[in-house]
C-alpha cells in the first residue's frame, strides 16, 4: 500500500507518518528491503543506493557474512551484563587492536557515544597527567555527533546558538592551519581532535602534511591526538583506517558507522599509555554486547582483506574519474575525497535539486552542502552500478544546466 492510500474512517487519506517524530525532511518513500547496492520501497520500486545508511553499510544491504554472523550469534548469546566478558567482545577488541596498533578497546553503540568516551578519556588523562588540562582543540566545520559534548566539539555553524549553554572547552581552529593549532595549545590543552576527512562538512580532507605535522606537534607539546574515524574508518578511504594514508598513529581513535556494517556498533580505541579510565568512569548497558560485536568481527574479517581494500581503491578511482568527466562536461568544479568517500562541487547552489532529480530516477545520493554532492556507496559496489549512477547524474546535470 502506498503511503498516500491508507484510508481513514471518513475516507480521507491518513498521514501514515503521524507518529514518527519529525526531525528531518523526508520524502514519503517507505523502504522495506535491501540487497547489495539496491533498496526496494513499499510499492516494489528499486533504488540504487549511494548513501548506504550514511556511509554505514560497508558490505551493502543485508550482506551474507553479516546475516550469518548475526543469525549464529542470536541463537548463541544475545546479551550478558557488560560486567562480564563475552567471547565476541574479546574477539572484536583483539581484531581492532591488532589492526590499529592501539591497545585498548571500549565497544559502544553510536559514533557520538564513542566520541563522548574519547572526550572523557582525554579529560581524565589531562586531570591525571597534565595538571588538570581539559580543553580539546577541534576544527571549524568538524562533526563529532549529537550529544551535548560532541555538539560542542563539532564546528557546525548552524549549531552555534542551539542548546545553550554549551559544554565548555572546545576551542576551534580552521582545518589544515597548523599555526592556528600551535597557537591554540596552552597549559589547559589535553588534546587535538579531528576527522581525517570532514565527511558531514562536505568531504574536506585534512592534508597529509597537516596530519603529520599535527601528530609531531601534539607529541612535542605533550598533548593527545584524537582521530574521529567514524566516517573514514573501516575501509571507506581504501585503507582500513584513514590515518594510514598519512603513516601516523593517533593516541585515541573512534569508529562507528562501517564497523557494524548496518547495525549499531562503535568503538573507542586508546594507546595503553593514555588508557586511564578507573573502574566506573565509563560503561553502558549495551556496550560490548555479543550480538553487535559478532557483526563487527564479520565486517572486519571481510574489509581488512588486502584484495577487498584494493577493490575499494579501484572503485573509488572509477567514481572519481567519472565525476571529473561529468564536472568537465557540465561545468562543475572540483572532486574531493578518497576511496569511496567522495564529493563533487557543483559550482552552484543546486545540490538539493540534483539530489531530488536523481531520487526521481531511482538513485540515492546526498547533498551535504548547497553546492556539493556526496557519494558513499557500499564498498562492494560494482562497476556497472557505478556507471549506472554516473549515467543518471549525467542526465540530471544536463537537465539542470538546460533550465
Calpha distance 355→13 (Å, rounded): 28
Q: Which is nearer to ligand PLP, 49 or 385 (CB)?
A: 49
**DSSP H stretches of helix in 188-277:** 208-221
If binding is defined by CB under 6 A, does position 381 make contact with ligand PLP? no
Binding of residue 111 to ligand PLP (CB under 6 A): yes
Residue with smaller CB distance to ligand PLP, 253 or 309: 253
Decide whether 126 or 199 has the Cβ nearer to ligand PLP.
199
Is cis: bond before 119, omega within 30 of 0?
Answer: no
Q: Which is nearer to ligand PLP, 142 or 322 (CB)?
A: 142
Q: Which residue has the cell 557474512?
A: 65
Which of 68, 65, 64, 52 is CA-nearest to residue 381?
A: 52
Q: b or e along 165-182 (b: 16 or more beta carbons within 10 Å of the residue's beta carbon)? A: ebeebbbbbebbebebbe
Site residues (CB under 6 A) for ligand PLP, limited to 16-45: none
Contact between 259 and ligand PLP by CB under 6 A: the answer reads no
Tell me: does residue 228 bind ligand PLP (CB under 6 A): yes
Does 376 engage in binding with ligand PLP (CB under 6 A)? Answer: no
Over the window 50 to 89, marking each residue x when it contacts ligand PLP by CB under 6 A and - when it does not, the resulting string is: ----x-----------------------------------
**Residue choice 200, 239, 251, 302 for contact with ligand PLP (CB under 6 A):** 200
Nearest residue (CB) to ligand PLP, 86 versus 231:
231
Site for ligand PLP in 114-153 (CB under 6 A): 115, 143-145
Task: Closer to ligand PLP by CB, 111 or 296: give it.
Answer: 111
Bridge partner residues of 336 (DSSP): 343
For residues 105 and 286, what is the distance between their CA atoms, to the nearest angstrom? 15
Stretch near ligand PLP under the rule CB under 6 A, chosen from 16-24, 58-66, 192-200, 363-371: 192-200
Neighbours of 163 (CB within 10 A): 11
Show the CA angle centred on residue 262, arms to residues 152 and 245, nearest 5°: 65
Amino acid at each position: 500500500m502506498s503511503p498516500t492510500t491508507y484510508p481513514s474512517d471518513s475516507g480521507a487519506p491518513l498521514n501514515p507518518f503521524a507518529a514518527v517524530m519529525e526531525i528531518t525532511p523526508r520524502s514519503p518513500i517507505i523502504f522495506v528491503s535491501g540487497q547489495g547496492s539496491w533498496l526496494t520501497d513499499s510499492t516494489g520500486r528499486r533504488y540504487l543506493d549511494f548513501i548506504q545508511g550514511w556511509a554505514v553499510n560497508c558490505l551493502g544491504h543485508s550482506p551474507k557474512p553479516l546475516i550469518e554472523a548475526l543469525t549464529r550469534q542470536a541463537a548463541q548469546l544475545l546479551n550478558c551484563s557488560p560486567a562480564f566478558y563475552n567471547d565476541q567482545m574479546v574477539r572484536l577488541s583483539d581484531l581492532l587492536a591488532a589492526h590499529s596498533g592501539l591497545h585498548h578497546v571500549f565497544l559502544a553503540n553510536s559514533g557520538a557515544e564513542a566520541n563522548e568516551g574519547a572526550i572523557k578519556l582525554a579529560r581524565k588523562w589531562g586531570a591525571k597527567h597534565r595538571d588538570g588540562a581539559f580543553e580539546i582543540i577541534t576544527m571549524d566545520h568538524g562533526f563529532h555527533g549529537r550529544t551535548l559534548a560532541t555538539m560542542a566539539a563539532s564546528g557546525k555553524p548552524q549549531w552555534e546558538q542551539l542548546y545553550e549553554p554549551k559544554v565548555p572547552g572546545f576551542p576551534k581552529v580552521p582545518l589544515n592551519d597548523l599555526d592556528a593549532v600551535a597557537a591554540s595549545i596552552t597549559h589547559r590543552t589535553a588534546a587535538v581532535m579531528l576527522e581525517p576527512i570532514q565527511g558531514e562538512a562536505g568531504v574536506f580532507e585534512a592534508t597529509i602534511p597537516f596530519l603529520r605535522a599535527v601528530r609531531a606537534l601534539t607529541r612535542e607539546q605533550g598533548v593527545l591526538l584524537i582521530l574521529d574515524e567514524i566516517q573514514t574508518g573501516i575501509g571507506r578511504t581504501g585503507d582500513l583506517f584513514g590515518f594510514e594514508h598519512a603513516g601516523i598513529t593517533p593516541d585515541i581513535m573512534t569508529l562507528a558507522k562501517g564497523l557494524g556494517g548496518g547495525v549499531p556498533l562503535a568503538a573507542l580505541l586508546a594507546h595503553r599509555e593514555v588508557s586511564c579510565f578507573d573502574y566506573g568512569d565509563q560503561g553502558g548497558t549495551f556496550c560490548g554486547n555479543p550480538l553487535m560485536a559478532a557483526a563487527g568481527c564479520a565486517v572486519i574479517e571481510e574489509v581488512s582483506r588486502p584484495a577487498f581494500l584494493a577493490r575499494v581503491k579501484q572503485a573509488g578511482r572509477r567514481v572519481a574519474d567519472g565525476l571529473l568527466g561529468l564536472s568537465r562536461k557540465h561545468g562543475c568544479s572540483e572532486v574531493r575525497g578518497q576511496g569511496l568517500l567522495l564529493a563533487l562541487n557543483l559550482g552552484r547552489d543546486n545540490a538539493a535539486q540534483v539530489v531530488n532529480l536523481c531520487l526521481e530516477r531511482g538513485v540515492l545520493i546526498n547533498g551535504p552542502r548547497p553546492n556539493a554532492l556526496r557519494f558513499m556507496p557500499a564498498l562492494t559496489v560494482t562497476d556497472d552500478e557505478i556507471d549506472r549512477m554516473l549515467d543518471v547524474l549525467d542526465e540530471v546535470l544536463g537537465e539542470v544546466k538546460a533550465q
